[in-house]
Amino acid sequence: MNKIELPEKKYVACLDVHAQKSFTPLCSDEIPVPDGHLIVDELNLQSKYASCRIGVKEAHHPDAVWVADENKPMLTPIKGEEVDVTWPAHSIVGTKGFELLDGLPEITEYDYYVWQGVELNMHPYGNCYHDLNETMSTGIIEFLQIRGVTHVVVGGLAADYCVKVTVLQLLRAGFSVVVNLGACRGATPETTEQAKDKMISAGAELVASAKDLIQQS
């Protein structure tokens, strides 16, 4: 992969997508993305190129309608305007899975932070909207626009689900998007490659590491 040049820092933001323990081997009974706990250094490194750092957490209830059980195993299609399939219980508020990965800043140190999926009947993937139909903004797009940001560097979990959808949302909103693969991990190699192809086709640029970023002074 080639190096990518970013504009001045004031025009750049970085986004940490669901960088919490629920999506790592630290919580093996939730949604353990392989090596998901190893993205912290890259997330912190990419933030050095940005004037603002945004973060998003999933914040779920144990009785959410999409929680899988014996009768509805993982990825069973379910009916509902704001849900699509079942998932294991994850990112439950107050549990270990809800916690940010060790080594990331405190929530209060981010410039903007969003909690998603609080409602029992909602399970969004992309970080820019609270709903699957993309009608209820989380405020991220507006926050970036107000600050005059033109470029967003994205990392987080998982590359083939929430990162992919978030990147596509940002591109549709008119931002230039760089995906830092060093700060991402995917659920499976196959779906991760498919996600990479889709993001590139939509206009995103990919780097292997934040070290491949060059910034105008």
Domains and CATH numbers, the chain: 4-215 (3.40.50.850)
Q: Please tell me the predicted confidence (pLDDT) of residue 38.
A: 98
- Give 134-161 pLDDT, tens digit per residue: 999 999 999 999 999 999 999 999 999 9
Residue 1, pLDDT score = 72
Look-up: residue for tokens 């060790």?
102
**Residues 186-202, mean pLDDT to the nearest whole number:** 98
- For the sheet containing 176-185, what is the strand order? 112-116, 52-58, 12-17, 151-157, 176-185, 205-207
Q: At residue 75, what is the residue type? A: L
202 burial via Cβ count (<10 Å: 0-12, 13-18, 19+): middle
Q: Is the pLDDT of residue 194 over 80?
A: yes
Q: How many residues does the chain have?
A: 217
With a cut of 90, say whether residue 122 has pLDDT above it: yes
Residue 137 tokens, joined: 């903004």
Q: Is the pTM for the entire model greater than 0.85? A: yes
Handedness of CA 93, 95, 96, 97 (dihedral sign): negative
Report the C-alpha gap between 20 and 164 in whole angstroms: 17
> pLDDT tens, 75-93?
999 999 999 999 999 999 9
**Could you report the per-residue pLDDT of 98-115, keeping only the tens digit for each?**
999 999 999 999 999 999
Token reading at 117: 């999926």
| Contacts for 67 with CB less than 8 Å, ≥ 6 apart | 86, 87, 88, 89
The two structure tokens encoding residue 9 = 């820092």
Q: Compute the distance between CA of residue 130 and CA of residue 85 in angstroms, rounded to an integer.
A: 16
So what's the pLDDT on residue 28? Answer: 97
CA pair distance 208, 202, nearest whole angstrom: 18
User: 78, 86 in Cβ contact below 8 A?
Assistant: yes
Cis peptide before 158 (omega within 30 of 0): yes
Q: Is the alpha carbon torsion for 141, 147, 150, 155 positive or negative?
A: negative
Single-letter code of the amino acid located at 97? G
Answer for the pair 216, 4: CB distance below 8 angstroms, yes or no. no
